[in-house]
Chain A
Amino acid sequence: MAAKETPSSREHWDKLIRLIELAKKSRTLSNTMRHGKPSEVVAALRDQVGLSGEEVAMILDDLELIADRGSVKWWSPLG
C-alpha cells in the first residue's frame, strides 16, 4: 500500500485500509457495498469497519487518491 498522501489521521488511514481489505475479501461487506441501501451501507461500515458517517467523509479523498492511481500498469504474465 502506498504512503499516505493527505493529512488525515493515522487511525483514519488504518480504517481506510481495513475497509479496502475487507471489501476485497469479505463477501458480506462487498455485497452490501454493491447492492445495499445507503442506510445499510452506513450500518455495515460502522459495524464491520468501525467507521462513523463523519469518518467516511474524512477518508473519501484518500480513497479517491488510491482509486486514481494511474501507475499500475496492466502487465500480463504471458503478454
Chain B
Amino acid sequence: MGALKLPSNPRATWLFAEVDSRYQAFCARLPESLGRMARLRRTYLGSPSDELFKGIADLNPVLAGTPWMFWEQLERLNDAQFLTIAEGGALFVLASILLDHIIDRQADQPEAATLLHQALHTRGIECLRAALPASSSFWAHFERLSADHLAGLAAELDAQADPSCMREETFIRMAHGKVSPIVVTLAALAEASGQPGILPHMEASLKHIAVASQLLDDIGDWQEDMHAGHVTYFLTQVPPYRNSQAMPAHDVEAVGAAIDADWLDVDYLNVTLDWLKKSVEAARGLACPGWLEYVEGYRQLTDEHLTVAVARHLVRVLRPIVAGSAS
C-alpha cells in the first residue's frame, strides 16, 4: 500500500525517471548547503536519519505521481510538455511540503528550509511558465488554487491558536488547501493537453481523498496529536472538548474513554469511507485505472480499520455481559 504503480508502458517509466534526474540537476544547481538539504530524505519525509532522498518515487504517489496516476488521460502530451509540467508540479509540491514543515515547526533547519522552499517554488513556477503561455486559462486556476492553499494554511494556524475555529467547514478548507498544489499540476496537464473539461473531475477526486486522508491521519494519530498539543478536527469532536476554547490537558486515558463510549473512531472511519467513495465517483468518467485502483486500495484499508475498531468495541461491550451471565 502506498507505492506508485507506474503504468506498464516504457514511455511512462522513462518520463518518470527523467523527472527524477531533472530533480537531481536542480539540486546540483543549488548553493552547496541547500543542495545537500534537498538530497536528504528527512527534509521532505521527516525521517530522523541521514538517508538520501531517492527522488519523487520516495514520496507518497499522490504528491508528485499524479501525472502517472492519470496517465491514460494525459499521455497524449508530448514528452517535452509532459516533462516540463511534471517537473514544475513536483517542485511546486515539494515546496508546499517544506512550507508545511516550516509552519508546523518540524523543519530541521527552518532558515535553510525557507530558502530551499523559495528555490523550489520559484523553479516550479518557471517550469509551468515555460509550458503554458500567459494567455492560458491555467493561470486563473493557478491563482484560485494558490489562494485555496493559503486559506487552508491560514485556517490551520488559526485553529492551532484557537481550537474553537476547528469546525467541519474549516477542516474541509484545510484539507482542500493542502491538496491544492497537487491540483495545480493536474490543471496544467489538463490545459496543456487541451482537455480543460477533465480538471473538475480530477480536482474533486483529489479534494475528496484529501479530506479522507486527513481524517484517517487524525483518527490513527490522535494520541500522538494530544501529546504534541496538535489540534485536529477529530479531537475537537470528542465530547468533553467539543466546542472548547482550549485543547484538553494531556489526559489520553480520559479522551480514549470518551472515544470508546461513543465509538467515535467508528463514526469517523465511516465518514472517511464516504469521502473515499465520493473520490471514486468523481473520477469514474475518466480514463484513470491507476488512480481508481489507488483510491479503492485505501477504501479497503479504511474498511479493515473499521472492522478492527468495531471488533474492539464489541469485545469491550460483550466481555462483561458474558462474564456477568456466567457468574
A residues contacting B by CB (< 8 A) are: 1, 19-20, 23-24, 30, 33-34, 38, 41-42, 53, 56-57, 60, 63-64, 66-67, 69, 72-79
Task: Name which of B19-27, B108-116, B214-222, B237-245 contacts chain A.
Answer: B214-222
A42 proximity list for chain B (CB < 8 A):
321
Chain A: minimal CB distance from B264 (Å): 10
Contact B315 A67 (CB under 8 A): yes
In B159-183, the 8 Å CB interface with A consists of 178-179
Name 18 interchain pairs, CB-CB below 8 A, sorted by A.
A34-B317, A38-B321, A41-B318, A42-B321, A56-B318, A57-B326, A63-B314, A64-B311, A66-B311, A67-B314, A69-B308, A72-B305, A77-B60, A77-B213, A77-B294, A77-B298, A78-B179, A79-B213
How far is B258's CA from A9's CA once the two chains are assembled, in angstroms? Answer: 35
Interface pairs A-B: 10 shortest CB-CB: A74-B220, A67-B312, A67-B311, A78-B213, A66-B311, A77-B213, A38-B321, A77-B298, A76-B217, A57-B322
Main secondary structure of the interface of B (DSSP, over half): helix
Contact A38 B324 (CB under 8 A): yes
B residues contacting A by CB (< 8 A) are: 1-2, 60, 62-63, 178-179, 209-210, 212-214, 216-217, 220-221, 261-263, 266, 270, 294-295, 298, 301, 304-308, 310-315, 317-322, 324-326
Chain B: minimal CB distance from A49 (Å): 11
Known contacts A24-B307, A24-B310, A67-B311: A74-B318 contact under CB 8 Å:
no
B322 proximity list for chain A (CB < 8 A):
53, 56-57, 60
Task: Pick the residue among B262, B295, B321 that contacts A41 (CB under 8 A).
Answer: B321
How far is B215's CA from A76's CA once the two chains are assembled, in angstroms? Answer: 9
Chain A: minimal CB distance from B227 (Å): 16
Contact A78 B318 (CB under 8 A): no
Chain A: minimal CB distance from B225 (Å): 12
Contact A74 B310 (CB under 8 A): no
Most buried by B among A1, A57, A66, A75: A75
Chain A: minimal CB distance from B173 (Å): 16
Contact A78 B178 (CB under 8 A): yes
Task: Pick the residue among A23, A66, A79 that contacts B308 (CB under 8 A).
Answer: A66
Chain B: minimal CB distance from A15 (Å): 12
A66 proximity list for chain B (CB < 8 A):
307-308, 311
B298 proximity list for chain A (CB < 8 A):
75, 77
B266 proximity list for chain A (CB < 8 A):
23-24, 30
Task: Pick the residue among B2, B262, B304 that contacts A72 (CB under 8 A).
Answer: B304
